[in-house]
């Protein structure tokens, strides 16, 4: 749209461009914090990969910030790469969210089994959902945890965690 001799982008004001630039900069910062194993799953152009490696090796606060800004500038120039990075990081977030939800579900099971009021119902439901988990040794651990034995509560959690996928699939 041309108005008074000036050309203006429709729908992309200065504030929107700044927000988008800050988002790309945040993605660049998060890339520098990923583990080597996570980075191997992401394919980047050679120039961006080299700059990412350089930014990851930079130690000083100010110089690291400068390196991240430079990496963000390279990402902004390559929109396809920036979109791939955003998608990759969104997938990482979703995976962490799923793992945290799974962990919290297992903690809820442990708390339910170790509480005097809900232990018997919890064991009955656990027997129904995952019968191979509930054996004599597990019931003894639950009773000990119910009576305040913290090491037994940790052992109950470990057994729940080991059976966690079956437990989460079958019900809670």
Give whole-number Cα distances, 167 to 20, 109, 110, 117, in Å.
41, 10, 12, 21
86, part of any domain = no
pLDDT digits (tens, 9 = 90+) for 142-151: 999 998 889 9
Q: Which residues contact 164 (CB under 8 A, 6 or more apart)?
A: 102, 105, 106
Kindly report, residue by residue over 59-73, the tens digit of the pLDDT.
Answer: 999 999 999 999 999
In a domain, 91, yes or no: no
Q: Is residue 1's pLDDT more than 50?
A: no
Decide: residue 125, CB within 10 A, 0-12 exposed, 13-18 middle, 19+ buried: middle
The total number of structural domains in the chain stands at 2
Regarding whether 112 and 46 lie in a shared domain, the answer is: no
Domain match, 101 and 47 both: no
In a domain, 125, yes or no: yes
Q: Would you say residue 133 lies in a domain?
A: yes
**How confident is the model at residue 170, as a pLDDT?**
61
Whether residue 61 sits in one domain with residue 116: no
- C-beta of residue 142 within 8 angstroms of C-beta of residue 123: yes
Do 116 and 154 sit in the same domain of this protein?
Answer: yes
Specify burial of residue 58 (Cβ count, 10 A radius: 0-12, 13-18, 19+). Answer: middle
Q: Confidence band (pLDDT; 50, 70, 90) for 105?
A: confident
pTM of the full structure: 0.58
State whether 67 and 106 are in the same domain: no
Strand pairing class (6-7; 2-3) = antiparallel
* Among 161, 140, 162, 160, CA closest to 149: 140
What domain range is 131 assigned to? 97-170
């Amino acid at each position: 749209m041309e108005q008074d001799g000036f050309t203006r982008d429709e729908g992309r004001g200065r504030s929107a461009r700044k927000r988008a630039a800050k988002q790309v900069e945040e993605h660049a910062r998060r890339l520098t914090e990923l583990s080597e194993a996570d980075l191997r799953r992401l394919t980047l152009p050679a120039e961006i990969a080299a700059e990412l490696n350089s930014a990851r090796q930079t130690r000083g606060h100010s110089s690291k910030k400068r390196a991240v800004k430079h990496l963000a500038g390279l990402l902004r120039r390559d929109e396809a790469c920036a979109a791939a990075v955003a998608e990759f990081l969104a997938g990482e977030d979703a995976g962490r969210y799923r793992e945290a939800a799974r962990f919290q579900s297992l903690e809820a099971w442990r708390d339910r089994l170790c509480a005097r009021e809900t232990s018997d119902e919890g064991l009955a439901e656990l027997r129904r959902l995952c019968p191979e988990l509930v054996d004599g040794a597990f019931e003894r651990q639950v009773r000990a945890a119910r009576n305040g034995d913290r090491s037994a509560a940790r052992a109950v959690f470990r057994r729940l965690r080991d059976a966690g996928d079956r437990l989460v699939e079958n019900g809670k």
